Amino acid sequence: MKRSNLWTTICFLICMASPPLAQASDTAKEKRWADQIVDELIDGDAVWLRAGDHRFLAIHMEHNTEALKGGAIILHGIGIHPNWQDVIYPLRTGLPERGWTTLSLQMPILPNEAEPDEYAPLMVEVPPRIDAAVAFLKQQGIDNIVLIGHSLGAVMAIYYLAGDSASVQEISAVAAIGLNARDTVNENLDTLLMLERVKLPLLDLMGSEDNAFVKDTANERQEAAKRGGNARYAQRVIQGANHFHVGQEAAVLETVDTWLVNSTGAGGG
């Protein structure tokens, strides 16, 4: 065999034996979202946080009340952004009127055609972003920090809390809106397994008209929390609400705020 052919064969075998590269966030899409958001932002301020070498957008909005209840880190769902009109925008702008400073994060995303299971490799990018958000709020003198996630953002919040990041201990409670428990062989998306590891106060909030993968696994999620010994898990249903809670924004805001206050003692409540 000629030397050039031998080298080609060796390279081919090495490539075949090497694991495929892990999926990474679509940073070009993140930039497009960020450019659009920054140009049009009215409520709140754009801030840039760092997760390792990656610079990502967050939207910061300070509380508008005399007393501060705490800081809420908000995580959006699949493929979208931190100023999304459904669930995210109503919470990030409504909670400050109730005493919460909010920080809505751009989470790792994939192209529009990506399937939910394709997000599994991206989950490892979640903790550094939330860690950066926690550090930002701590620098603002905020100690009572909560997580709020919608849809895949709710899964990301649970993934983070089930992990071993040093900043997990800084989180007081989590509100998971539209949390699913899809059948998956990937531990990174195994909501039920992760729920068994979460010990913090946890609100599992869904709509009565929510997606099937949310409604049909409600009992399984309750059982997973029970197996994990989490006596501070609570499940609530907003009547008439779909997965994006369109038209039920006030009910979501009231439910989340009331539950977080009662669970963390924020504002002396």
Provide the percentage of residues in the chain whose pLDDT is more than 70.
Answer: 91
- Calculate mean pLDDT across residues 129-145: 98
Look at residue 8 and tell me if it is in a domain.
no
Look at residue 186 and tell me if it is in a domain.
yes
**What is the pLDDT, as a whole number, of residue 15?**
33
Q: Is the pLDDT of residue 6 over 80?
A: no
Look at residue 2 and tell me if it is in a domain.
no
Q: Is the pLDDT of residue 19 over 60?
A: no
**What is the pLDDT, as a whole number, of residue 23?**
64
- Calculate mean pLDDT across residues 117-130: 96
User: Side-chain half-sphere of 259: how many Cα atoms within 13 Å?
Assistant: 26
Look at residue 132 and tell me if it is in a domain.
yes
Give the domain range for residue 86. Answer: 23-264
Question: Can you read off the two tokens belonging to residue 197?
Answer: 């590891």
Q: Is the pLDDT of residue 34 over 90?
A: yes
Q: Is the pLDDT of residue 126 over 60?
A: yes
Look at residue 84 and tell me if it is in a domain.
yes
Whether 197 contacts 162, CB under 8 Å:
yes
Instruction: Kindly report the CATH number assigned to the domain that includes residue 163.
Output: 3.40.50.1820
**What is the pLDDT, as a whole number, of residue 66?**
96
- Calculate mean pLDDT across residues 33-52: 97
Q: Residue 105: which pLDDT band, with cuts at 50, 70 and 90?
A: very high
Look at residue 7 and tell me if it is in a domain.
no
- Calculate mean pLDDT across residues 108-118: 93
Look at residue 68 and tell me if it is in a domain.
yes
**What is the pLDDT, as a whole number, of residue 267?**
78
Lowest mean pLDDT among 95-104, 226-235, 259-268: 259-268
**What is the pLDDT, as a whole number, of residue 184?**
76
User: Which of 17-21, 175-179, 183-187 has the highest average model confidence (pLDDT)?
Assistant: 175-179
Look at residue 117 and tell me if it is in a domain.
yes
Torsion of CA 196, 202, 207, 208, to 10 degrees: 70
- How far apart, in Å, are the Cα atoms of 186 and each of 91, 105, 177, 231? 30, 24, 22, 27
What single-letter amino acid sits at 72? A
Number of domains into which the chain is organized: 1
Q: Residue 268: which pLDDT band, with cuts at 50, 70 and 90?
A: low
- How far apart, in Å, are the Cα atoms of 174 and each of 73, 90, 264? 9, 17, 10
Exposed / middle / buried, residue 250 (Cβ in 10 Å: 0-12, 13-18, 19+): exposed
pTM above 0.85, yes or no: yes
Q: Is the pLDDT of residue 269 over 90?
A: no
